[in-house]
Amino acid sequence: MNGLLERVFQRLHLQRISKPQLKACSACKEQTSTTRTIMTNPYLVYCTPAGEIREEVRLRALAFGNQPLAAAHLIPLPDGVTLSMMPDRLAVGEKPSGERQVMARSRGWAAAALLPIGYTRTHLPAYEKVPGTEPLPFFGYSAVASMHGRLYVAAIQTDDPRKWHPRAFARHTLERLVSEKRAAYPHNRIVAQHAHCALDYSCPTASNLFFGRWEMAIAVSPGCNARCVGCISKQEEEDLISPQDRLTFIPTVNEIVEVAVPHLEQAEDAIVSFGQGCEGEPLLQYRRIEQAIKAMRERTDKGVININTNASNPRWLQRLYDAGLDTIRASTISGHPQTYTAYYRPIGYSFEDVKASLRRARDAGVYSSINLLCFPGMIDREREVEALLSFVRETGLRLIQLRNLTSILKCCCRACPRWTRWAKRWVCAL
């Protein structure tokens, strides 16, 4: 990022981790400690075919677009990060002379980090694609580098990751709790769906249904009125594979209430949330949600009822506000209508409807927030930041949550030709 968005959102709370065990390439072992002291720039990191992370101290680390990474761009790898190989993508670094160098294919592939929730990437990895290769899976790849024998990532901390950290979702405990819940609710399809999401996708909100705490998922809609470029549950392109399976049924009101009410009454910091990654747009089932909210509130006034939504229909949302919805979390990639439309490709609604839905939430006293999908090189453009600030002022938003866009540039560029030069320049590389 160019620093503009960081100045708007930056709340750095860096976490220190134990020193990682990096291996230098054999040629680099001949470098003296004096050379390491003089070279203070971040080094290139790559992944060998065997899956080992190594540093190349003769090359400076680059971000996508041949941007040299500086120490100021980086934080130590946060706890919960996943290091990833980028198959068929050659690692790229910069020589001391300033010349760009692509590493040999025999050495291995480019490396990237997949950040835990609570951290927002600021730079994409640099690499050169091998011709004729398949698209990468839909993950939020972040640039990585090494300094002083430690691994770093281009990111900032933008949220408290405690409730999303992998250590809060112990696998052996989750498996036991899933078995117990499925035995207690053998005919509830919501329980079966979120057992699949919790165990197969490690979805935190699905897992919370079984742990009985925090924000719990309730998926309700197999259909959608948008065709998001980076949709994680349904892709129209034949060569792109969605990382999740789309919900195939519409739950009954009784199924919803059966799992939601105990959670609202008993869970710590209880939230039940309609609208999950495994489904389409929950507002298409607004009548069912409306009935479920009324039924839940007839039984308990505890906890928070939330909807994650594209906020595409103000009238439907008004009915949910009137029924007792407590919070709305709308998804957007931009405060600019042209950018929004290019990514979401809405069917039967516009960005003006999204803004109207949020204004109605403000007027109804419903807590409104957005999930802002972040993609370095687009979201930090001055035009985008100005549009976002205007959007916040106009709608009375209470909270902005930054989320890394889990998509790939080739997919975005294919569907979003209006994303100007920054996108067009990367089409060939991806």
Average pLDDT per 10 consecutive residues for the chain, totaling 430 residues: 45 31 47 41 94 94 94 94 94 96 94 94 94 84 94 95 90 98 98 96 95 97 90 66 80 98 98 91 97 99 98 98 98 95 94 98 98 89 94 96 75 48 39
Residue type, 296: M
**Cβ-contact 74, 152 below 8 angstroms:** yes
Q: Domain limits at 358?
A: 162-427
Distance CA 57, CA 147 (A): 9
142, 173: one domain? no
94, 229: one domain? no
Distance CA 167, CA 165 (A): 5
216, 278: one domain? yes
255, 391: one domain? yes
153, 248: one domain? no
390, 318: one domain? yes
Cβ neighbours of residue 108 closer than 8 Å, sequence gap 6 or more: 46, 47, 48, 49, 54, 85, 91
Last residue of a domain, one of 157, 185, 206: 157
Distance CA 395, CA 386 (A): 14
238, 319: one domain? yes
Phi first, then psi, for residue 379 (nearest 5°) are -70, -25
53, 34: one domain? yes
* Residue ranges of E strands in 209-322: 213-218, 268-274, 304-309
Last residue of a domain, one of 157, 190, 218: 157
Last residue of a domain, one of 131, 157, 183: 157
Angle between helices 351-364 and 314-323 (to 10 degrees): 20
Stated pTM of the model: 0.84
DSSP readout, 177-221? HHHHHHHHSTT-HHHHHHHHHHHHH--HHHHHHHHTEEEEEE---
Q: What b/e readout covers 42-69, taking b as 16+ CB neighbours within 10 angstroms?
A: bbbbbbbeeeebbbbbbbbbbbbeebeb
152, 194: one domain? no
pLDDT at 267 (0 to 100)? 98
112, 211: one domain? no
pLDDT at 158 (0 to 100)? 93
Domain count, the chain: 2
